[in-house]
Amino acid sequence: VKRPLNLSDIPALTDGDRAGLSRALGSRQMQRFLLTVIALPSCTLQAIDCVRVLDNAAYHQRELDDLLVDRLFRNLESIFEALVGESVDEFHIGNLVRCAEEIRQMAEHMAVDHQPRAATVTAAGRAAPWTGAVRLTLVSVRVLPVTDQARYAEEWQADLYELAFTGASWWAQLVYALRILNDAWVLRAELKAPAPERVRP
């Protein structure tokens, strides 16, 4: 019997990971994303909580601790879950895609600046991907039709394991996950499009 993989299978963040993630979450790009979603009623509370956490950390000039990073991620996951609703109009989707693209560019820049490090190894002796990137792919699958979510969750996680195995830095893994997130809407449109008549020989 195959047990599905879940986040508890994956090692926690290292201090280095968390410091980088803390900077990314506190970035101008992330603030712009939060200000974009704060206007959407279904996301307002989570976005306000994120802004409050980030403002507090900035005011006290300290990095986010484990609990706060987890809290931000939970909020971001809730925000994306809410965004899956059909009520989000094209104008907001356009703004959100622009925000995700900005965040991806930032992460790509940071991926260049950071040297790859040795990957975390699971109990099975395999390199494990960074938890944050895995979580982002799990957020991305929520954009997809329910019937396709399990497939792409496993497929994208398999890619992340491959990246980790080849020694990709966690920034590179984040870039991978953000690109997936950025184009999840396109994939959703493809999956929801009516099947064309199949080509026959």
Partner 1 sequence: MVHPRMTVQTQLVLRALLQDPTHERYGLELSTASGLPSGTIHPILARLEKLGWLESRWEDIDPIREGRPRRRYYRLSPDGAEYARTALKDARIQLSSFLDWSPKPSSANGGLA
Residues lying near partner 1 in the complex (CB under 8 A) are found at 2-3, 5, 122-126, 151-152, 154-159, 161-163, 165, 176, 179-184, 186-187, 189-191, 193, 195-201
- Minimum gap (Å) between residue 17 Cβ and partner 1: 20
Nearer to partner 1, 131 or 182 (CB): 182
The H or E element spanning position 127 is strand 127-128
Least Å distance, CB 185 to partner 1, is: 9
Q: At its nearest, how many Å lie between partner 1 and the CB of residue 180?
A: 5
Q: Which CB atom, from 118 or from 199, has the smaller least distance to partner 1?
A: 199
The span from the CA of 171 to the CA of 17, in Å, is 9
The residue (of 46 and 120) whose beta carbon lies closer to partner 1 is 120
Name the minimum Å distance from CB 53 to partner 1: 28
Cα–Cα dist 201/198, whole Å: 10
Q: How far is CA 1 from CA 4, 5, 150, in A?
A: 10, 12, 17
- Report how far Cα 150 is from the mean position of its chain's Cα atoms: 16
Give the span between the Cα atoms of 173 and 120, in whole angstroms.
13
